[in-house]
Structure 1
């Protein structure tokens, strides 16, 4: 019996639209989907390393296979979890945040980044909380060590990415899939939120994970 875990995105929560949509569909086929709150421990202390440790602690003690479904930064985290833990047998990545820092930091501007480094914290709008919260610069230094070139474990991987993604360009997923024959990339007519293609996403997940029929909401 496979354990399914969903990892929400950066500055998001288990209550996000995608998380709740997919959770309802799993419930309809009577399959449990675990959705941890990756803000646990405080958003200000968030790091990819902390997320990896938090999710790995949810893995079954025995050899039960794990399928990870990750959105944006949750997708990046899922990919690195699969690299570190052989118990992860399948990955579904929704607009994964490959090369996250190189896409995000330039939008902040050099001056803001320097100020963040000097002061230690930077105010980031948290969509789950509906307000700005401080984020430690440790997030940046920690994230810098997670490079895509290290992700070489040949694990069945499905990537679903919007062609109009304004946060993580689809070229990031194209580049990742290009030299990894175990990766299937599905390009969707959508943006980073993928809100208009949830039915397509569910059908792709169902087929890839060999889930029971149903799941329509």
Structure 2
């Protein structure tokens, strides 16, 4: 039985993202420990932060780069995960951003370099070994990521694909019941 849910935010985001906060509000009806860590921009540090929070009864919810991390952790530790407009190969997307960056949600400057890109490549799962543990929520209007990459990569997984929308996943609240059901979250008695 799931006792902890970890929300994994995306690149240049924070624990205060709309989906993280809104899902947390809805978790008040469930008997789970809900965690939303503020992740380091360095991929290996972010994974270590997340691994430190994992228990065998953890489920994951990740958005964008957080979906990439959730996929890696799901397959490595045999955990259920829902991924929202996930980055499939973020090393390709972030390579052009090498250099000085600013995270406005965490209010700090940092340097993105080739070691970060290489770390993301090392975390890539080329073939999903347990696709039944993953639930893809994808909108075709995602202006940041190519939605077809996710649909193809997660082809053997449960999928909810909606026409239109955007990278933020418009109407996220409509999907919460299906996420809760997939993650098998226990309601408070």
Q: Name the TM-score, length of structure 1 as normaliser.
A: 0.76
The answer on whether the counterparts of 1:162 and 1:192 sit within 8 Å (CA) in structure 2 is yes
In the other structure, the counterpart of 1:206 is 180
The answer on whether the counterparts of 2:31 and 2:185 sit within 8 Å (CA) in structure 1 is no
> 1:21-170 maps to which residues of 2 (within 5 A)?
21-39=22-40, 43=41, 46-47=42-43, 49-60=44-55, 64-86=56-78, 88=79, 90-105=80-95, 108=96, 116=98, 122-130=99-107, 132-170=109-147
Larger C-alpha radius of gyration, 1 or 2?
A: 1
Distance 1:128 1:35 in 2: 14
SS in 2 for 1:144: helix
The answer on whether the counterparts of 2:47 and 2:69 sit within 8 Å (CA) in structure 1 is yes
Structure 1, gaps ≥5 residues long: 117-121
In the other structure, the counterpart of 2:168 is 193
The answer on whether the counterparts of 1:76 and 1:97 sit within 8 Å (CA) in structure 2 is yes
SS in 1 for 2:53: coil
The answer on whether the counterparts of 1:148 and 1:176 sit within 8 Å (CA) in structure 2 is no
Structure 1 residues 136 and 103, CA gap change in structure 2 (3 angstroms)? closer
Structure 2, gaps ≥5 residues long: none
The answer on whether the counterparts of 1:29 and 1:213 sit within 8 Å (CA) in structure 2 is yes
Structure 1 residues 125 and 161, CA gap change in structure 2 (3 angstroms)? farther
RMSD: 2.3
SS in 2 for 1:11: coil
**Cα deviations across residues 136-160 of structure 1 (Å, max 9, x unaligned)?**
3321121122334243234421111
Structure 1 residues 142 and 203, CA gap change in structure 2 (3 angstroms)? same
SS in 1 for 2:75: helix
